[in-house]
Amino acid sequence: MPAANEYRNVAILFGSQAMHISSQIVLFTLAGLVGQMLAEDKAFATLPVSAIIVATAMTTIPASLLMKRIGRRAGFMIGSTTGLGGVLIASYAVWSSSFWLFVLGTFVVGINGGFAQYYRFAAADAASREFRPRAISYVIAGGIAAAFIGPQLVRWTNDLLPVPFLGSVLSLSGLVLVSLILLSQLSIPKLSDEEIRASGRPLFKITSNPTFIVSVLSGMVGYGSMSMLMTATPIAMVGCGFNVTQSAGVIQWHVLGMFGPALFTGHLIHRFGVLPIIFSGLVLLMACIAVALAGIDIMNFTIALIALGLGWNFTFVGASSLLTETYHPAERAKVQATNDFLVFGTAALGSLSAGAMLDAYDWNTVNLFALPLIMLTALVTAWYALTHHRKQRQLAEAEETA
């Protein structure tokens, strides 16, 4: 039975996740459109979104190593304070019609993302082994609240000020302040001096483990595909004649697909195992692409983005849970940092390529680009699951005959 403090930390991190994802929804919905409005070269339209993900990827390693020394609470509050500065820079950029300043602002916001991505691991680190998958899942479920807060915030604030999009970008400062208040109440013990000095096994030995490889590969492909397709969707929809409100509605359904299952994904992993859940997520990503290629009606975008969200949830929660099986406590900072750098680095590449592919080709090309990578990862995951099952059976038979 999880302790009361475990639930308290999960609740705080759930709220902080809700604020962080709400901010991301607003920026992912509008940043590409702001970029298209401000950039002279429209091929750079998604660069502000990509800047968020690039900054997140670049921050993952230093954020993890910093929090190993100063603790989770202090690290998360540093990240949120930096994010607030980025929101103010981005708001001024929209007001002054400066594209490159807006890119800088979103980049600084993305630094906070490098810290916030560890909310799920912070919950797992302070949880019992049996509760870890559910702790990760419950924290990620903060996105359910964000699915309503983010799009609604766009609708309420998009035309609030005379300058297009300024009200929505400026409103993000309120979300960051709420997050700061919540995180100040977080109670996760710092590592001891001995644990900080300990390094554990060499990183090469850990990363050559097949379990680590499958975990990271599924996280990279799941997040990278989601990032690329979600970034491209608002621009593709506007190009197909839909408006910003309709685009925000599709993104809302997508976010519900991303985070809604998090209420029970941990239970599914506990019941069926982590590998079947990851494989199911990859199948859902392929279903997303099939629906997207079938047409450009509003229902195609909506159903495809829901499937995209579900696929991301199963692959990301599954990969995060599987990763916790690959390291000892002294190794978690460097292993988590390596994992998140690779995952969010791939997500950044996906986001960066989305704008260029849309400008040079079309929506179908973006979808087709992701398909072979997803299929390859599904094959690797299936092969590993079969191999792992065979080894477990052989061990069980050896124990019986002993």
pLDDT greater than 90 at residue 396: no
pLDDT of res. 1 = 46
Mean pLDDT of the chain: 87
pLDDT in tens, 33-84: 888 888 877 777 778 887 887 898 889 889 988 998 898 999 999 999 999 9
The phi-psi region of residue 242 (left if phi > 0; otherwise alpha if psi is between -120 and 50; otherwise beta) is: beta
As to burial, measured by CB atoms within 10 angstroms (0-12 exposed, 13-18 middle, 19+ buried), residue 272 is exposed
For the chain, how big is the Rg over CA atoms in Å? 21
Question: How far apart, in Å, are the Cα atoms of 229 and each of 41, 208, 285, 294?
Answer: 21, 30, 10, 15
Q: Mean pLDDT across the stretch 312-317? A: 93
pLDDT of res. 3 = 60
Quick one: which of 172, 225, 263 has its CA closest to 346? Answer: 225
Q: Mean pLDDT across the stretch 281-308? A: 95
What residue spans define the domains of the chain? Answer: 4-401
Q: How far apart are CA 128 and CA 135, in angstroms?
A: 9
pLDDT in tens, 122-147: 888 777 777 878 888 889 888 888 87
pLDDT in tens, 8-21: 888 999 999 999 98
Q: Mean pLDDT across the stretch 198-208? A: 84
Quick one: which of 177, 12, 183, 178 has its CA closest to 84? Answer: 177
Residue with tokens 């092969």: 383
pLDDT of res. 400 = 66
pLDDT of res. 256 = 84
pLDDT of res. 195 = 65
pLDDT of res. 399 = 66
Find the angle CA(316)-CA(327)-CA(394) to the nearest 5 degrees: 90
CATH of 4-401, one of 1.10.3720.10, 1.20.1250.20, 1.10.600.10, 3.40.1180.10: 1.20.1250.20
pLDDT of res. 275 = 93
Q: Give the E-state strand segments of 276-373 in sequence order.
A: none
pTM of this prediction?
A: 0.77
Find out whether 142 and 18 touch, Cβ atoms under 8 Å: yes
pLDDT of res. 401 = 67
pLDDT of res. 196 = 67
pLDDT of res. 356 = 78
Q: pLDDT above 90 covers what percent of the chain?
A: 40
